[in-house]
């Protein structure tokens, strides 16, 4: 259906640069998440795409045609707002039918399409209710149906789950994914929740201070982050300053760590001898008998029982602190000396960028 290209979007508020050359694209039927902390520019990007805000520079293309100069009502993009933005004076039916009424479609067609849209979001029998008589989850479904019923070229979702409680969030998240897959609508999804982004997206753009720090698949973002900022934002990670000695035969790096030399994969542009950052996800670390060959000795500082795992904090001889998850049955106690093994396939070396 639709391919979207965002090229060099720039937006300035007074002296602060809210967007600093944001470029993204979504292929037909793809769901792209914009992930980042508040103030990173993800919502501003979405609002520029929707046409609620004019970018100072840059372009937004739909199938190669610029829509940047079009007002929102001419873009035919469906928008789902964080607080739903349902019209409080209109019934569920009239809310969903709004875009069709504005387009002056015949009443019979409006009724049929509204019924289809409500069936799609699995919300039927509440057509005459006012929004305030609905639960949060139901309101969210109405908002989704209202955005879909106009058969938009693009679906824009601005933190649609932020106001739902945890249990509902899970449910509506899958609903959104189902609906988007079913209708094959290209979609952009703004969120600050990495788990949500991972679960939903085909690709994720991690944003940082008005720029795209990395734009890639969830797997790549998690396992091969471009910089420490991305690694921290996409899950638990131990990030340790390191200096690679030289390249390995398979294109990785030899990195001295805790008294041993680890062969780890990493970002290509790093030169041996330069300061870099070593990422060790908790699952890359495991505890073994300290006496074994080639292990790194570590001192257990503290533990916390999490049910499925035992979270441990350990410190190495040089004072480096690491967090990892051990088996809940592991006989580990604060003050014990343990052996640490690094699964180098799950380690990753990144350039040292100020974050």
Residues binding another protein (CB under 8 A): 50-52, 71-73, 75-79, 81, 83, 85-90, 98-99, 101-103, 130, 146-147, 150, 156
The answer to whether the beta carbons of residues 161 and 200 sit under 8 Å apart is no
Query: Residue 199 and residue 153: Cα distance in Å, rounded?
Result: 23
Could you tell me whether strands 31-35 and 186-191 are parallel, antiparallel, or unpaired per DSSP bridges? parallel
Query: Residue 162 and residue 154: Cα distance in Å, rounded?
Result: 21
Least CB distance from residue 123 to another protein, whole Å?
Answer: 18
Least CB distance from residue 29 to another protein, whole Å?
Answer: 20
Question: For residue 331, what are the contacts with CB-CB under 8 A and spacing of at least 6?
Answer: none
Least CB distance from residue 72 to another protein, whole Å?
Answer: 4
Q: For residues 1 and 102, which CB has a smaller minimum distance to another protein in the complex?
A: 102
Least CB distance from residue 3 to another protein, whole Å?
Answer: 20
Q: For residues 152 and 265, which CB has a smaller minimum distance to another protein in the complex?
A: 152
Q: For residues 146 and 281, which CB has a smaller minimum distance to another protein in the complex?
A: 146
Query: Residue 319 and residue 296: Cα distance in Å, rounded?
Result: 13
Structure tokens at 43: 């919502």
Q: For residues 133 and 288, which CB has a smaller minimum distance to another protein in the complex?
A: 133
Query: Residue 200 and residue 203: Cα distance in Å, rounded?
Result: 9
Q: At what angle do helices 166-183 and 107-120 cross, to 10 degrees?
A: 120
Q: For residues 130 and 336, which CB has a smaller minimum distance to another protein in the complex?
A: 130
The answer to whether the beta carbons of residues 28 and 2 sit under 8 Å apart is yes
Rg, C-alpha atoms of the chain: 24
Enumerate the β-bridge partners of residue 215: 205
Q: For residues 78 and 210, which CB has a smaller minimum distance to another protein in the complex?
A: 78
Structure tokens at 52: 């609620």
Q: For residues 87 and 174, which CB has a smaller minimum distance to another protein in the complex?
A: 87
Read out DSSP for 211-262?
A: EEEEEE-HHHHHHS-SSHHHHHHTS--EEEEE---EE-TTS-EEEEETTEEE
Query: Residue 108 and residue 101: Cα distance in Å, rounded?
Result: 11
Query: Residue 137 and residue 155: Cα distance in Å, rounded?
Result: 19
Q: For residues 51 and 266, which CB has a smaller minimum distance to another protein in the complex?
A: 51
Least CB distance from residue 146 to another protein, whole Å?
Answer: 7
For residue 263, give Cα distances in angstroms to 119, 272, 336: 54, 13, 28
Structure tokens at 119: 């069936």
Q: For residues 101 and 195, which CB has a smaller minimum distance to another protein in the complex?
A: 101
Least CB distance from residue 230 to another protein, whole Å?
Answer: 30
Least CB distance from residue 11 to another protein, whole Å?
Answer: 16
Least CB distance from residue 111 to another protein, whole Å?
Answer: 17
Least CB distance from residue 73 to another protein, whole Å?
Answer: 5
């Amino acid at each position: 259906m639709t391919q979207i290209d965002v090229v060099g979007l720039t937006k300035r508020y007074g002296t602060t640069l809210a967007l600093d050359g944001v470029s993204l694209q979504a292929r037909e039927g793809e769901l792209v998440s914009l992930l980042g902390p508040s103030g990173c520019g993800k919502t501003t990007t979405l609002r520029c795409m929707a046409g609620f805000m004019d970018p100072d520079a840059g372009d937004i293309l739909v199938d190669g045609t610029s829509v940047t100069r079009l007002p929102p009502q001419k873009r035919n993009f469906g928008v789902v707002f964080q607080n739903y933005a349902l019209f409080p004076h209109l019934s569920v039916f009239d809310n969903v039918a709004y875009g069709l009424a504005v387009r002056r479609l015949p009443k019979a067609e409006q009724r049929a399409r509204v019924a289809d849209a409500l069936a799609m979001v699995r919300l039927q029998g509440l057509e005459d209710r006012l929004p305030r008589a609905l639960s949060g989850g139901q309101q969210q479904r109405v908002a989704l149906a209202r955005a879909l019923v106009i058969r938009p070229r693009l679906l824009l979702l601005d933190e649609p789950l932020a106001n739902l409680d945890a249990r509902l969030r899970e449910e509506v998240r899958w609903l959104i994914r189902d609906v988007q897959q079913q209708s094959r609508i290209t979609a952009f999804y703004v969120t600050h929740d990495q788990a949500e982004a991972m679960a939903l997206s085909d690709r994720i753009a991690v944003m940082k201070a008005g720029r795209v720090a990395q734009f890639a698949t969830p797997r790549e973002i998690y396992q091969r982050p471009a910089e420490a900022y991305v690694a921290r934002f996409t899950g638990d990670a131990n990030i340790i300053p390191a200096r690679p000695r030289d390249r390995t035969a398979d294109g990785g790096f030899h990195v001295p760590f805790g008294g041993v030399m680890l062969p780890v994969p990493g970002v290509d542009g790093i030169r041996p001898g330069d300061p870099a950052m070593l990422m060790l996800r908790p699952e890359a670390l495991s505890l073994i008998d300290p006496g074994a060959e080639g292990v790194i000795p570590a001192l257990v500082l503290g533990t916390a029982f999490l049910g499925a795992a035992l979270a441990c904090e350990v410190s190495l001889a040089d004072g480096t602190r690491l967090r990892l998850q051990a088996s809940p049955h592991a006989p580990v106690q604060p003050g014990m000396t343990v052996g640490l093994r690094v699964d180098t396939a799950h380690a990753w070396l990144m350039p040292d960028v100020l974050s």
